[in-house]
Structure 1
Amino acid sequence: MNSPAALILAGSRPGAVDPVAAAEGVAHKSLVEIAGRPMLALVVAALREAGIARIAVSASDDAVRALALALGCEVLDTGSGPSASVAIGLEALGAPLLVTTSDHALLQGAWVRDFLADTPAGSDVAILLARREAIEAAMPGSRRTYLRFADGHWSGCNLFLLATPRAGLAIETWKMVEADRKRPWRIAARLGAGMLLGYALGRLTLADAIAKLGRKIGVAAALVPARDGLAAVDVDKPSDLVDARAILAQRAADGASTGSA
């Protein structure tokens, strides 16, 4: 696979007040500073460290767009929702395309490299998810939304790979998953009565559900387990911001200690 471009989603939901931005008194949470840098800058730096040269930011806020340009990124318009913004990004940047979000403040280049390395050959679409036990081991007490399937409880990591142009076929389905992300039984129901029964009986794995959903729309889709549970931790609420600041402060302290050893 060729080196991917990256798309960072930094849009705003119409009419919604983001609690993190409101708590910090900024126009958009991408601008909230952690460890002295805006969250968007942290995400861009992680992608650069992973070796991704071409990065675009999907944003409507003027300050976010200006910051993206200052960081050396391209700026794209947003769509009516995340999936529509991804469609715009795929058309502009082509495949392979890595997609993440501007509130993924803990993102590390190693996670991106691992995700790309662990994506099965022949995949059109891949999704990084973390197991509950990995998240709780990395961050005890973390409260996330989990998808409960036979192969465990999973939480999304805001990292997606559109590996081939065929991935565009999955974007309409992405809209459905956005709507049903907290109701996995509805995702299973879209796969047919057999899959819904398998889910109800606790026999349907998330890996199978993703693969079968992909086949239904004509793409090879794969679940990729995250190696680090922290990959599932983003900044959705003020308490997440407190956690992210503490984790990055600890990383900095650990780095300083290592450097002085």
Structure 2
Amino acid sequence: MKALILAGSQEDSPLTKFCQNKALLKICGKEMIKYIIDAMRELDFIDTIAVVGPKDELVSLEGFADIIIDSGSSMTENVLKGAEVFPDSELILIATSDIPMITSEAIRDFVEKAQKVDADFYYPIVRKEINEKKYPGVKRTYVKIKDGTFTGGNIVLVKVDTVKRCIKQAEEFMIYRKKPLKLAQILGPVIIIKFLMGTITISELEKRVGKLFGIKAKGIISDYPEIGTDVDKESDVEIAEKVLCGGIANEAQ
């Protein structure tokens, strides 16, 4: 299996005042993205790790990542540029570069659950109560549906040929990935009504996404909140430092 980490510059990030590229923001003296690479290196089923981002900013990753791909002008372009270096038949694990608390156990659990189901696209979701138990005080975007209240993860597992075929169609999904109502609008009026009433199910969402993109999509429930706990703002940095520097690590478990 291949892995791709998205490390494009984010000019609108509040963290750029500390570091030009958020992926290289140091937490406990180590760049965020290196925590993710280290977690992936521990997994025997990942044989290649590629990073896509501005090459001139990622020189410190040379020899650390297997492949560094110069970024494009958008997230969708970066995903496509990354996918193009791998064969169509491969499965690719795509992650953002701002989840430094991710662990190899969390990734393994997600991948093993995904591989028990036949699909083209797998997306992790985490129950609110599990997220708040481990990381109390962390603000996340939650969606209440019939199956429970969930937040989304920051990694996906997808077939390379599916990326190449559907990436342009998925652009709006990626832009509005943290705005549930916007996503519901893209999915259609019936979804909006059910979403607002909290009666939509995971299965219905999977079927609607599959119909829109001509793929088989599957939501994977994860018990590892670090799979979606990203570092977007200063308060997130403080929590990551407490966890990764050993201050409050595992105290909520």
- Unaligned runs of at least 5 residues, structure 2: none
SS in 2 for 1:172: coil
Task: Please give the per-residue CA displacement for 1:143-200, whole angstroms capped at 9, x wherever unaligned.
Answer: 1122333323322221111135234333223311123334433433433433333223
CA distance in 1, matches of 2:224, 2:209: 26
Distance 2:206 2:199 in 1: 14
Q: 1:36 aligns with which of 29, 33, 36?
A: 29
Contact 1:83 1:172 in 2 (8 A): yes
Which residue of structure 1 aligns with residue 52 of structure 2? Answer: 58
Task: Please tell me whether the aligned partners of residues 93 and 158 of structure 2 are also in contact (alpha carbons under 8 angstroms).
Answer: yes
Could you tell me how far apart the structure 1 residues matched to 2:160 and 2:211 are?
Answer: 15
Residue 197 in structure 1 maps to residue 193 in structure 2: yes
| Residue aligned with 2:168, SS | helix
Q: Report if the CA contact (8 A) 1:124-1:163 is conserved.
A: yes
In 1, Cα distance between the equivalents of 2:138 and 2:79? 28
* TM-score, normalised with respect to structure 1: 0.85
User: Who is 1:209 aligned against?
Assistant: 205
Could you give the per-residue CA deviations for residues 26-66 of structure 1, whole angstroms, max 9, x where no partner exists? 332222222332112111101101222201110115132x1
Q: Which has the higher helix share?
A: 1
Superposed, 1:118-129 pairs within 5 Å as 118-119=113-114, 120-129=116-125
Aligned to 1:161: 157
Residues 1:181 and 2:174 are matched in the alignment: no
> Structure 1: any 5+ residue segments left out of the alignment?
255-261
Query: Which deviations, in whole Å up to 9, do the C-alpha atoms of 1:81-109 show, x marking residues without a partner?
Result: 22221111111123311000111101111
Supply the distance in 2 between the matched residues of 1:69 and 1:8 (Cα, whole angstroms). Answer: 14
For 1:185 and 1:174, how far apart are their aligned partners in 2?
A: 16
Q: Is the 8 A contact 2:55 2:71 kept in 1?
A: no
1:112 match: 107
With over 3 angstroms needed to count, the CA separation of the structure-2 counterparts of 1:200 and 1:34, relative to structure 1, is: closer
Cα distance between partner residues in 2 of 1:191 and 1:32: 35
Sort the Cα spacing of 1:43 and 1:196 in 2 relative to 1 into closer, same or farther, 3 A: same
Q: Decide whether the 8 Å contact of 1:11 with 1:61 is kept in 2.
A: no
Q: Go from structure 1 to structure 2 and tell me whether the alpha carbon gap of 1:146 and 1:81 turns closer, same or farther (over 3 Å shift).
A: farther
| TM-score, length basis structure 2 | 0.87
Residue in structure 2 matched with residue 259 of structure 1 by the alignment: none
Aligned residues: 246
Rounded to whole Å, the distance in 1 between the matches of 2:145 and 2:73 is: 30
Identity level (%)? 28
The aligned residue for residue 5 of structure 1 is: 2
2:80 is matched by which residue type in structure 1?
Answer: A
Counterpart in the other structure of 1:99? 94
Match in the other structure for 2:143: 147
Query: 1:123 corresponds to which letter in structure 2?
Result: A
Counterpart of 2:126? 130
RMSD after superposition: 2.2
Counterpart amino acid of residue 34 in structure 2:
A
Letter of the aligned partner of 2:7 in structure 1?
A
